Structure 1
Amino acid sequence: MTREVIGRGFLAEYLRQHLPPDASATILAAGVSDTSETSPERFRREAAMVSETALRCREGGRLLVFLSSAATGLYGREGEGREDSRVAPVSPYGRHKLAMERLVANSGAHWLTLRLSHVVGPRQNPAQLFPSLLRQIHSGTVMVHRGARRDLMGVHHFATVLDRLLALGVRDRTVNVASGTAFPVDQIVTALESEMGRSANRTFLDVPSETLRISNQLMRALVPEVADFGFGPRYLDSLVGRYVGRQAGGYVEKSPTRTW
């Protein structure tokens, strides 16, 4: 069996280019990705796609990799987000993603659910975190959600984790894929400004305070290589240095992507 990637977004395109072609799995990298989404119709469309894909994987004996979310909408705004803890989603998006996880787990296909933190990389949707902030900084004014924090994961590291999990044959498990460090949005803006060599006026919108810490203990146990990824207080600077260029706020990957 060979790798199959479903989706047209930046994650799907990255995995098509950088995941080994002999990865014997169907990777579902499509569906609702906006954490503020509330549309029942969009949720129904994703549910239909997940159901159809799971049925095809069950009948074909393929592993289904479902890309879920470790966002606050699923885990809540405080405490520790662990795969083995009882989850009580706090948003329509979070409730929907949990329902999709259960659909996959009960489908009869072998599965691997990855709860992703905020993945950053080249050619992202303009509405996603880094592109949105870069565009605002370049315009001269940036809106900072005061109280918000984001756990960031480079797409190159995500791809490495996925590659290793597939190679190890991990299945029928849910795994957080996160750095374990959540950075205040204000700090992210400062790092982006420094790399771009320009600053912007800041306006602030107070949002409910977020102290959630996404546990990556299971990921670290399964994939010991993550010890070399540089997670911690300096990880933000390494991501900004890798993906953000000074030329007009360019957004490019500046070093080789294959890390395995």
Structure 2
Amino acid sequence: MHILGNGFLARNLRPIADRHPDTVVLAAGVSWASCTSEEEFARERSLLADTARRCAATGRRLLFFSTSSAGLYGPLDRPAREDGPATPSTAYGAHKLAQEELLRASGADHLILRLSHLVGPGQPEHQLLPTLVRHTREGTVRVHRGATRDLIAVADVITVIDRLLGLGLRSGTVNVASGTAVPVMDIVEHLRLRLNGAARVEQVDAGPIHPHTVSVEKLHRLLPGTGTPGAGPSYYRGVLDAYTASAAPA
């Protein structure tokens, strides 16, 4: 496995790099879901186009990471499926969907994984969990009323990636998520239990929020058995416990 990138996901992929020599992994690019920078998007488009061109020429498989968030799928009244509609509601979601389309048209063998919210040691400080942990410790957390997030441990994601690549898949799109839309208030309450029971929680209205659940039917069909993460609605608690233990102050 040839890994392009040096960030959170790239670092976690390194232990399995020697297991998939036919695969190029694009683990670089925009990591801010709130990003609206056309310059950043253009840089990632160029990197993907160049990488896909090389993979098509050499016969190597390209692994690309997209998002399974509502930013890509848009508002739905049912779990978001890979073969269902996608009407992006954010600039980042629209960018990721366009990247997927670019890759499919490139002629390169590929696998697209639409990831939910990864959690693990060393993730960027601007992402959800580090922000919530920091604010909980500081004593005040602001939460958008009705917001939900699908959390999945990065270690479980790496296991899933290893197993999916081992199947020899050379086309297709797969959601990689727990399949449970956890209310952010429940996440914060669990963090308060572990970190600072006195932290004050402020709920703010951010306009209409549509519950967003990610379908993991395809993932479980491809990887049946106990090795697939997200078994049960309490999965997120274990993810949070492991993260808070790793993020304990020195």
Write out per-residue CA displacement over residues 49-88 of structure 1, whole angstroms, 9 at most, x where no aligned residue.
1111111111121100000001111111332210011211
CA distance in 2, matches of 1:10, 1:153: 14
Q: Structure 1 residues 230, 46: closer, same or farther in 2, change over 3 A?
A: closer
Partner of 1:196: 195
Aligned with 1:36 (options 34, 37, 47): 34
Say whether residues 1:126 and 2:117 are aligned partners: no
Partner of 2:3: 5
Does the residue aligned with 2:150 lie in a helix, a strand or coil?
strand
Aligned with 2:19 (options 14, 22, 25): 22
Write out per-residue CA displacement over residues 150-203 of structure 1, whole angstroms, 9 at most, x where no aligned residue.
011111111111101111101210000011101111110111121225431112
* Greater Cα shift, 41-50 or 205-214: 205-214
Q: CA RMSD in A?
A: 1.8
Partner of 1:211: 211
TM-score, L = length of structure 1: 0.90
Amino acid at match of 1:216: V
Partner of 1:256: none
Write out per-residue CA displacement over residues 108-146 of structure 1, whole angstroms, 9 at most, x where no aligned residue.
110000000111111000011110001101111111121
CA distance in 1, matches of 2:86, 2:52: 23
Q: Structure 1 residues 118, 91: closer, same or farther in 2, change over 3 A?
A: same
1:80-95 aligned at under 5 Å gives the runs 80-95=79-94
Does the residue aligned with 1:66 lie in a helix, a strand or coil?
strand
- Using the TM superposition, give the Cα deviation of residue 95 of structure 1 relative to its aligned residue in structure 2, in angstroms: 0.9
Partner of 2:71: 73
Q: Structure 1 residues 230, 99: closer, same or farther in 2, change over 3 A?
A: closer
**Structure 2 residues not aligned, in runs of 5+:** none
CA distance in 2, matches of 1:155, 1:206: 30
TM-score, L = length of structure 2: 0.93
CA distance in 2, matches of 1:114, 1:236: 20
**Structure 1 residues not aligned, in runs of 5+:** 253-260
Identity fraction in percent: 44
Q: Structure 1 residues 225, 155: closer, same or farther in 2, change over 3 A?
A: farther
CA distance in 2, matches of 1:170, 1:32: 25
Partner of 1:136: 135
Kindly indicate whether the alpha-carbon contact (under 8 Å) linking 2:220 and 2:228 is maintained by their aligned counterparts in 1: no
Partner of 2:244: 244
Kindly indicate whether the alpha-carbon contact (under 8 Å) linking 1:149 and 1:210 is maintained by their aligned counterparts in 2: no
Kindly indicate whether the alpha-carbon contact (under 8 Å) linking 2:27 and 2:64 is maintained by their aligned counterparts in 1: yes
Does the residue aligned with 1:95 lie in a helix, a strand or coil?
helix
Q: Number of residues paired by the alignment?
A: 247
Amino acid at match of 1:77: P
Partner of 2:159: 160
CA distance in 2, matches of 1:226, 1:130: 26
CA distance in 2, matches of 1:230, 1:170: 22
- Using the TM superposition, give the Cα deviation of residue 30 of structure 1 relative to its aligned residue in structure 2, in angstroms: 1.2
Aligned with 1:63 (options 61, 77, 80): 61
Kindly indicate whether the alpha-carbon contact (under 8 Å) linking 1:144 and 1:205 is maintained by their aligned counterparts in 2: yes
Partner of 1:258: none
